Amino acid sequence: MLSYTFTEDKEFPLYEQLYQRIKEDIIERRLEPHSPLPSKRSLAKHLSISLTTVENAYNQLVSEGYVYPIYKKGYYVSNVQNVPMNTVRDDYLPEQLRVDKDKNGHSRLYIGDKTYTEMYMGTDNRTDYFADFSSNASDPATFPFSTWAKLNREILSTEHVKLMTNSPSNGMVELRYAIAEYLHQFRGIDVFPDNIVIGAGTETLYSILVQLLGFDKVYGVEDPGYEKISQMLESSNIKTARIPLDEYGVMPRELMKHNVNVIHTTPSHHFPTGITMPISRRHELLKWANADDTTYDDEANRFIMSVDRDDKYIIEDDYDSEFRLSGRPIPSLTSIDNSEKVIYMNTFTKSLASTIRISYMILPDHLRDRYYEKLSFYSCPVSTFEQMTLTRFISEGYYEKHINRMRTASRKKRDLLLKSIKSSPIAAFSEISEEQSGLHFILKISLGIPDTTFVSRCLENGINISPISKHSFMINYSSVPLDRIEEAVRRMAECAL
C-alpha cells in the first residue's frame, strides 16, 4: 500500500500533496504502468485521511491522464510514455507571475522582478538594422500620418452609427465603391462594387478563395515566385504544383502537364525576376483557362475532355502595379477576360502601409454569386474604422496624391542607390537588374568570398540583405530611409571586399 506523510500547509491542501506524491511515483516508474491503485476507501483508511481527500486527488490524476478508471474495477496507472512530459507545467506555476503597479501607476505583469516587456522584448525579431534591404515594411517618412489622423478624427466624431454597423462579409459598400472608381480611373478595370471582396491581406482572401474554388483542386504557383503562396496552400493540405517560367512568364504547356486547375500569377511584374507578361502570353493563358484539357480521339476524329474548363481559373496578383517606374502599363488580364476566368487581387499593404491590413479581390460574376450564396456568413476581417478611413482617403483624392509622392520618393531612393553603387569599389563586380520595379532591384556581385560570409558580415554592420540565388541579392529599399542609403552602400562595399 502507498505510504506517504504529509505536511500541514495552508498553501498545499492535503489532496494536492497526495496527488503530487502519487504523480511523482508514476512519472518515476515506482508505480508500474497498468497496475491497480488501492481503492479510495482503503487508501483513506491506510493514510488516516478523509475519503474526500483521496477522491479529489484521484480525480485530479485522472483528469491529467496519470491514472485511468475502469468501470466497476477501480483505478489503474497510465503508461506515462503516452503522457507527454511537458504536460508537467512546472515552469508555469502561477506564483512566477504577479501584477504590480509601475511608476506611472499602470498595472504591469511581472515575472520575478522584471516585467514581461523587460524580459522578452529583447529576444523578439531584431528590428534595429541600420538598413534592412529584406523587409517589405513601409518607410515612416512616406506615410501620410497627418491626413490619416485628420480623416480618423472626422470619422470618429461624426460617424458613430456607421462605425458600429457590421459591414457585409465582403466589406463596406462605400469602400468597394471607392476601389471600383479608382480601378476605373487608374487601372482601366471596370468592375461593379458587388464583385469586390475586401480582406485583411492575401491570407484571408486565399482562405475564402479555396473555399470557393475547391480544396481538391491543383493550385499552380510560379517558380520562382512568392514563397508565401505555396506555404499557405501547403499548410492547408492543398495540392500545389511549381510551374517553371520562360522569358514571358508562366507556360500554359506546363500547366497542362501538371493538371493545374488554378494558377497564381503576377503578370504585370513577376516577383522576383521582374518579367512582364506580353499580351500574347496573356491570351494564351486565357485560352488555357477556357479550354478543357483534351486528348485527341483518333477514332472520333475530335478532342475529348480530360480536365474540365469549368474548374480552371487564373489568379492575377497585381501587387505592385502602382509602382512601376517606367514602361507603359499592359492591360490587366482581368480587363481582357470575357469569360469569367480571372480573379484579380491587389493590396494596400504595398502602396499605403504594410501594417494596415487591407487587400481586395475581384470575383467574376458566377463566383460572386457563389460567394454570396455560400460564404457571406463570414464577418469581414477588417474593422469598419479602417475601412471608413481608407474610403475617404481614396475618394477624396488623397490616395492618388500619396501614390505619386511614393513613386517620386521611390525613384529618388533607387537613383541614389544606383549612383552610390556605381561610384563604389564594388561597381566593377556588380550587375543590376529589375531596377524599373520601383520597390526593389536585384544586385548580382561576383564576390571573392562565399555569399554567406558576405551576408553575415553585412549583418554585423547593420545591413540586412537576402540572397535569392548564387551571387544574387534582393535589394528591397522600401523601408530604408533616403539619408541612410549612401552609408549603407559604403558598408556593403566594405563587407564585399
Which residues in 129-168 contact its own copies (CB under 8 A)?
A: 135-140, 143, 145, 148-149, 152-153, 156-157, 160-161, 163-168
Of 268 and 384, CB closest to its own copies: 384
Which one of the spans 10-18, 248-256, 279-287, 415-423 is the region binding its own copies (CB under 8 A)? 279-287
Interface with its own copies in residues 249-278 (CB under 8 A): none
Tell me, residue by residue from 208 to 237, as one string, x for binding to its own copies by CB under 8 A and - for no binding. --xx---x-----------xx--xx--xxx
Name the residue among 196, 246, 249, 250 with its Cα closest to residue 219. 250
Considering only residues 41, 126, 246, 385, which one is a binding residue for its own copies as defined by CB under 8 A? Answer: 385
The rounded distance, in Å, linking the Cα atoms of 279 and 330 is 8
Q: Is 242 one of the binding residues for its own copies (CB under 8 A)?
A: no
Q: Is 295 one of the binding residues for its own copies (CB under 8 A)?
A: no
CB of 374 to its own copies, least distance (A): 7
Interface with its own copies in residues 8-67 (CB under 8 A): 34, 59, 62-65
Of 266 and 384, CB closest to its own copies: 384
Please give the distance of CA 216 from its chain centroid, rounded to a whole number.
22
The answer for residues whose C-beta is within 8 angstroms of residue 309's C-beta and 6 or more apart is 289, 290, 291, 292
Interface with its own copies in residues 323-362 (CB under 8 A): 336, 338-340, 349, 353-358
Which one of the spans 243-251, 382-390, 416-424, 457-465 is the region binding its own copies (CB under 8 A)? 382-390
Interface with its own copies in residues 402-441 (CB under 8 A): none
Interface with its own copies in residues 88-127 (CB under 8 A): 88-89, 92, 94, 97, 99, 106-109, 116-117, 120-121, 124-125, 127
Of 55 and 451, CB closest to its own copies: 55
Strand partners, 196: 362
Contact 480, 138 (CB under 8 A): no
Q: Is 293 one of the binding residues for its own copies (CB under 8 A)?
A: no
CB of 326 to its own copies, least distance (A): 26
Interface with its own copies in residues 467-486 (CB under 8 A): 479
CB of 60 to its own copies, least distance (A): 8
Considering only residues 2, 27, 251, 291, which one is a binding residue for its own copies as defined by CB under 8 A? Answer: 291
Grid coordinates representing 223 are 517558380
Considering only residues 84, 103, 247, 450, which one is a binding residue for its own copies as defined by CB under 8 A? Answer: 84
Which one of the spans 38-46, 240-248, 381-389, 401-409 is the region binding its own copies (CB under 8 A)? 381-389
End-to-end CA, the chain: 76
The answer for residues whose C-beta is within 8 angstroms of residue 192's C-beta and 6 or more apart is 180
